[in-house]
Amino acid sequence: MSKHKNINNFIKLSNISKSFTHQKNLKVLKKLTYNFKLGKIYSLMGPSGSGKSTLLNLLSLIDRPSSGIMKYGNKQIDYKNSNYNDVLRANKIGIIYQQDNLLPDFTALENVYLANLAIEKNKEISEIKSKKLLKKVGLSNRIYHYPAELSGGEKQRVSIARALINDPQVILADEPTGSLDLETAKSVFDLLKKQINANRLIIFATHNRFFAKKADCMLEIVNGNIKTINARV
């Protein structure tokens, strides 16, 4: 699997629909079609229940659509091939949650390098990479602290380092600043924005229009589909 093949439209969604049958066949996404380009940052807005998290779960391959086609690069996702999809997720996708989802019994350093061990079998190399990333996100003096000993902003910085450890081409963030005060949120968002490069794209869901406007492309989910609010792509 090639790691950084520069394909402009890297994620391609075609007629993606998603329904939840346990909720009286609730249709959340309806024949959604959109292409996400490398080198760009996308914000995803919409009221609660509009489908932001649902779309991120589909993009991260945690869930599958009810119908439609998704391609990473030029390869169509085969949802029956779970082994390939697991490898794709580990190699190409970094995920950041609103709640940091850190392992409470492991240090910041361990939380980051454990995410790398599925790819890098050498623990020593993983530790070195993790220390460099934690330094990059401003936590070089907190690497041996446990999550309970970190502030909300520090925990999200660990989450960003963890999302970056496998050098992903796609970073997906679901309300990454939603539980933080404004100044901390600005700091975390600025750090996230610095992770963009020509071979990477970032998609983040947010309720905060201030942060949404800072993206290259501001999107909104309306009636199960994507509406472009503002774009510099």
Taking the model in full, what pTM does it have? 0.90
Share of the chain above pLDDT 70, in %: 95
Tell me the pLDDT tens digit for each residue of 98-132. 787 899 999 999 999 999 987 887 889 999 999 99
Strands (DSSP E) found in the chain: 9-20, 26-37, 41-45, 67-72, 75-76, 93-96, 170-174, 201-205, 217-222, 225-231
Collapse the DSSP code of 53 into the 3-class scheme (helix H, G, I; strand E, B; otherwise coil) and give the result: helix
Mean pLDDT taken over the chain? 90
Task: Give the start-to-end residue ranges of the domains of the chain.
Answer: 38-66+91-231
Range with the poorest average pLDDT among 13-27, 65-79, 161-175, 196-210: 13-27
Q: Which fold has domain 38-66+91-231?
A: Rossmann fold (3.40.50)
Residue 201 half-sphere exposure toward CB, CA atoms < 13 A: 23
CA distance 104 to 121: 23
Per-residue confidence band for 24, with pLDDT thresholds at 50, 70 and 90: low
Residue, of 178 and 142, whose pLDDT is higher: 142
Tell me the pLDDT tens digit for each residue of 174-224. 988 888 888 989 998 999 999 999 999 999 999 999 999 999 999 999 999
